[in-house]
Amino acid sequence: MDISNSKILSVEEEASGKPSDVSVDFNEFGKDASPHDGENSALSQKDVIDESGFDGFGFSKALLETLKEKGYKTPSPIQTAAFPELMLGRDLVGQAQTGTGKTAAFALPLIERLEQHQSRPQALVLAPTRELALQVADSFQAYASGHKHLRILAVYGGADFRSQINFLRKGVDVVVGTPGRVMDHIRQKTLDTSNLKTLILDEADEMLRMGFIDDVEWILEHLPKERQMVLFSATMPAEIRRLSKRYLHSPAEITIKTKAQEARRIRHRCITMPNSRKLEALNRVLESFVGDGVIVFARTKVITLDVAESLEASGHEVAVLNGDVPQNQRERTVESLKNGRVNILVATDVAARGLDVDRISLVVNYDIPFDSEAYVHRIGRTGRAGRKGEAILFINPRERRFVSTLERAVGQPIEAMEIPNNSDINESRINRLRERLTLAFKSPLTTKEETEILKEMLSSLAQEENLNLEDIALAALQLAVGPRPLLFNGDEKWIDEPVSRGRRGERRQDRYGSGGRRADRSARAPEENMERFRVEVGYRDRVKPGNLVGAIANESGLHGRMIGRIQIFDTHSLVDLPKGMPDDVFKVLKKLKVMNRELQIQKTT
């Protein structure tokens, strides 16, 4: 398949988030194209601009009613461009950042095209993580509320396999799953793909980073040759482009380009400090921040717990989201974040995939991400739904050189930021108290009857205690401040200390070693923050680094880039993992199978 025969739709999105300046190129260069292709398979530029709401895409009355009930009024740019193509059953490659409405872009046309009374799955959605799979499945369920006959199932590692088999036997229309668990079901012949009409790859670039591309290709080889295939990705690495050329047939290609003013809704800043001061710096940043919800991204599950404990000790309401958090608790955590009961979430990359909470005002990169694409995904948690957001990056002196790469990825500078001092924090605390007072005055929480009771209480208290209203107001303010002092008086001398640059000439290590020279790699000890483990799969099992990265990342909750050097030998392999990994994770990994062999992971001496 030659992707030059594709239709290419390029949509630029204004700061308002509404479709604007839509540029659609429907020129066909392939010899099989006909003059009618452009008319029948997509809206013209004028149609896209004149179309209001979701009425013009051929959706059923039931689906339109569902969208109306859920408050959906105007399709996003990627939805406007994708709906006509997918309703016609075309293959499609879509590139857009997180938070642009990609799930609805493929879910709504798919729901409309599903046939009733089918016992075998008609559509398969592959997602890189269990969290994203659940998020997508929940979205499908919500959109299909007017289609009572549709059945959606999420399949992923860590959930009961037999329960998933029972659901599949009863009949499912849409399966949303992670590559590993989908492969398990195909091997066990519990997932019948013979009736599959549509395959969707969601977050394809994330699957590549987590080492799942080989698994994805294995799944593709076991699906019907005649089927619609849709690929969505925030970025388009060469490997993803190769995948699309090999498996998609004359796809429409949609790229959502965000205009400069749209990107600048997020302000990017970075703070340079020694690693030993990161917790103190984080506390100061949060104390000085005036806004809604905050997500703090940490590298490992152990770090999320350390950070959360430190913040709780400082009086913050904190929740944790990592691979160890059970699904029911995860749902409660996300709901608490959405409704404001919790304002600070400490999470790993994998656990936060698919997290969609509009009120996130700040993303703190407590640990620098391993690549620019991960940074783009992280900051995509803020600045959503047309709001402004902030992103703060913590780096040590040796990580400064990576900042320019991140700047190129977001197309704007990452400003240097000073650690907030006591004066900054106190000014923020006073401003927050003032805002609470103003809000209480403008939007009282009490009823008219309760207000009269409070007024009577103030009057009688003033008379009985011989107080004026100013004295009573001051006492009420002190109650609002609580037991913690209003003014912050922490040690701030360290803030102005010079930060050393680290050892000169220190080189960044490649995650798979240097140039394939196994003898040299074996002699080098793990990096300072890593530990080395042995797994009982090797070259004889035809294992590749990507197989190990994908399997370990999916079961441990680690981002693929957090897994260190991998050395593969004939009968075994050595893998470097972050220090402090919980024992229960290794119990799971011991029994985990890669290339049909158990890992039997154990620490090397």
Tell me the per-residue pLDDT of 501-524, one tens digit each, with 9 for 90 and over: 443 333 333 333 333 333 333 446
Residue, of 441 and 248, whose pLDDT is higher? 248
Which of 209, 239, 260 represents a domain boundary (last residue)? 260
Which of 208, 236, 260 represents a domain boundary (last residue)? 260
**Structure confidence by residue, pLDDT tens digits, 101-150:** 788 999 999 999 998 888 899 999 999 888 788 878 988 998 998 888 89
| For residues 206-231, average pLDDT | 90
**Structure confidence by residue, pLDDT tens digits, 168-184:** 999 999 999 999 999 99
Query: Do the domain assignments include residue 507?
Result: no
Query: How many angstroms separate the CA atoms of 123 and 144, rounded?
Result: 14
What confidence category does residue 23 fall into, taking pLDDT thresholds of 50, 70 and 90? very low
What confidence category does residue 442 fall into, taking pLDDT thresholds of 50, 70 and 90? confident
Same domain, 173 and 277: no
Is residue 86's pLDDT more than 90?
yes
Same domain, 21 and 92: yes
CATH at residue 340: 3.40.50.300
Provide the number of structural domains found in the chain.
3
Determine the Cα angle at 226 with ends 84 and 102, to 5°: 35
Residue, of 529 and 10, whose pLDDT is higher? 529
Query: Do the domain assignments include residue 460?
Result: no
Query: How many angstroms separate the CA atoms of 164 and 170, rounded?
Result: 10
Percent of the chain that is helix, strand, coil (3-state, to 5) = 45, 15, 40
pLDDT at 408: 81
- Whose tokens are 């990107």? That residue is 263
Residue 29 sits at φ, ψ, to 5 deg, of -105, -10
pTM recorded for the entire structure = 0.52
Same domain, 75 and 221: yes
Same domain, 55 and 131: yes
Same domain, 238 and 152: yes
pLDDT at 346: 94
Same domain, 136 and 215: yes
pLDDT at 354: 62
List the domain range (segments joined by +) for residue 328: 264-423
Is residue 31's pLDDT more than 70?
no
Same domain, 129 and 80: yes
Same domain, 287 and 185: no
Query: Do the domain assignments include residue 484?
Result: no
Same domain, 186 and 198: yes
| For residues 19-45, average pLDDT | 32
Is residue 580's pLDDT more than 80?
no
pLDDT at 219: 95
Same domain, 229 and 372: no
| For residues 392-400, average pLDDT | 90
Residues whose CB is less than 8 angstroms from the CB of residue 245 and which lie 6 or more positions away in sequence, other chains included: 1, 2, 3
Same domain, 296 and 251: no
Query: How many angstroms separate the CA atoms of 178 and 215, rounded?
Result: 10
pLDDT at 91: 95
Is residue 428's pLDDT more than 50?
yes
> What value does the mean pLDDT of the chain take?
79
| For residues 414-442, average pLDDT | 84
Same domain, 402 and 545: no
Query: Do the domain assignments include residue 599?
Result: yes
- Whose tokens are 């025969």? That residue is 5
Query: Do the domain assignments include residue 457?
Result: no
| For residues 548-570, average pLDDT | 78
| For residues 390-409, average pLDDT | 87
| Mean pLDDT comparison of 66-75, 308-317, 382-391, highest-scoring range | 308-317
Query: How many angstroms separate the CA atoms of 138 and 120, rounded?
Result: 20
**Structure confidence by residue, pLDDT tens digits, 340-394:** 888 999 998 776 666 778 889 999 999 988 667 778 878 888 877 667 889 999 9
CATH at residue 562: 3.30.70.330
Is residue 488's pLDDT more than 80?
no
| Mean pLDDT comparison of 38-47, 293-302, 480-489, highest-scoring range | 293-302
Q: Which amino acid is at 3?
A: I
**Structure confidence by residue, pLDDT tens digits, 260-271:** 444 568 899 999
Burial readout 460-494 (b: 16 or more C-beta within 10 A, e: otherwise): eeeeeeeeeeeebeeeeeeeeeeeeeeebeeebee
pLDDT at 491: 80
Is residue 93's pLDDT more than 90?
yes
